[in-house]
Amino acid sequence: MDALTRSAWTETSYKRALKMLHDRSGIIVGEHKMKSSERLLEGLRKEYGFVTIDDFLDSLGNNKDHSGWPAFINCFTINHTAFFREPHHFEILAKYIEKHRTNCAIWCASCSTGEEPYSIAMVLNEIVGEQTPCPRIVATDIDGQAIQRAKAGIYSIDKLTGISEERLRRHFLKGNNKFEGKAKVKPALCDRIEFSELNLMSFSWPKPAMFDVVFCRNTMIYFDHETQVRLVANFARSMKPGGLLFIGHSETLASTTDQFTLLGQTVYQRNNR
C-alpha cells in the first residue's frame, strides 16, 4: 500500500463506508473494524482498479447494481458459527419435527458457512429418514463467499467439536490425501438444503405464511432497533401461525413486536393472528 492511499483512509472515509454498509445491509459496525476493513477494502480497490478506496466507494455509491457490492459487504460481516451452536435449540426443533413430520418448511436466514443448516438437516434426517425429501431447508446469507463454502460442505475435523461420534459416522465422510484432516457432509444432508445468497434488507420477501420454522440467530444483534423491527415484522408475515422463530442467546424480540410469544431459551412462537 503506498503512502498516498494509506493517508486517504481517514475516519471520514471509514464513517462513510459504515453508512453505506448500514443503508445496504442493516449492519452496524463500531470503530474497532477501521484497521481490518482498510486492509480488505484496499484489496478491492486494487481488484477494481481505483486510485483510492474513496474512489471505489464513489463508484459503489453511484451504482446500486455494482458487482463490487457483495465483496464490499463481506469486508464487514462476521461469519462466526458452529455445528449445534446453542444445542438446546436443536432439541426443541426435534420435538417440533416429531410432531409435524414432513409437513413443514424451514428457513435458515443467516446460514453463514453452513454449520447451522447442516445441523438442522442432521436432526431432520434422523427423524424423518434420509429418503424422505420433506421437510426442506432454505438456507440464505448475504455473504456470497460464505454461501460457496456452505455449498461445498467441507470442514476441518477440528471444527466438528459440537457433533457426537455417532453423528460424525452417520453424516460425514472423512477425507484423505489432499483432504486429510477434513470431513465432508454426506449427500443426504446436502440434498435437503437449497443454499442461496440473499440480503434480508433488500429482497422481495417470500409469500405470506410460507415457513413453519425460521432460524435467524446471532444476526439481528448487528442491526439497529429500527432495522430489527422491520425484519421481525417481515418474519412474522412469512411464517405460519404456531411456527417457531429461533434467535441468538443474546438477542430478544422484546419491544420489536407483539406477533410472537416467547416459549423460552430465545425461541418464539408466531401468534395465531
Ligand X SMILES: C[S@@+](CC[C@H](N)C(=O)[O-])C[C@H]1O[C@@H](n2cnc3c(N)ncnc32)[C@H](O)[C@@H]1O
| Contact residues for ligand X, defined by CB under 6 A | 25-27, 77-81, 85, 110, 112, 116, 141-143, 146, 199-201, 217-219, 222, 248
Q: Which grid cell sits at 177?
A: 490425501
Write out the three cell numbers for 62.
Answer: 453511484
Q: Which amino acid is at 75?
A: C
212 in active site:
no
Closest CA to 251 of 119, 91, 86: 86
At closest approach, how far in Å is the CB of 52 from ligand X? 26
Q: Minimum distance between the CB of residue 121 and ligand X, rounded to whole angstroms?
A: 14
Amino acid sitting at position 5: T
Nine-digit cell string for 118 = 447442516
User: From the candidates 24, 45, 54, 141, which is the catalytic residue?
Assistant: 141
117: CB partners within 8 A, 6+ apart = 108, 111, 137, 139, 150, 193, 195, 215
Give the residue with the Cβ less far from ligand X, 125 or 218.
218
Least CB distance from residue 178 to ligand X, whole Å?
27
The residue among 54 and 141 lying less far from ligand X, judged by its C-beta, is 141
Q: Is 2 a catalytic residue?
A: no
Question: DSSP states of 67-119 as a string?
Answer: TTHHHHHHTT------TTSSTHHHHHHHHHHHHHTTS-EEEETT-TTTHHHHH
Report the residue number, 30 or 49, with the smaller CB distance to ligand X.
Answer: 30
Q: Measured from the CB atom, is 8 or 92 closer to ligand X?
A: 92
The secondary element (H helix, E strand) that includes residue 151 is: helix 144-152
Cβ-proximal residues to 14 (8 Å cutoff; 6+ apart), any chain:
34, 37, 38
CB nearer ligand X, residue 184 or residue 230: 230
Minimum CB–partner distance for residue 196 and ligand X (Å): 11
**By three-state DSSP, how is residue 182 classified?**
strand
Kind of pairing, strands 239-246 and 211-215?
parallel
**If residue 35 lies in a helix (H) or strand (E), which one and from where to where?**
helix 34-48
In terms of phi and psi (left: phi > 0; alpha: psi -120 to 50; beta: otherwise), the region of 265 is left
Shortest separation between residue 128's beta carbon and ligand X, angstroms: 23
CB of 149 to ligand X, least distance (A): 10
Catalytic residue among 6, 23, 39, 258: 39
Q: Grid cell 474513496 — which residue?
A: 54
- Catalytic residue list: 39, 141
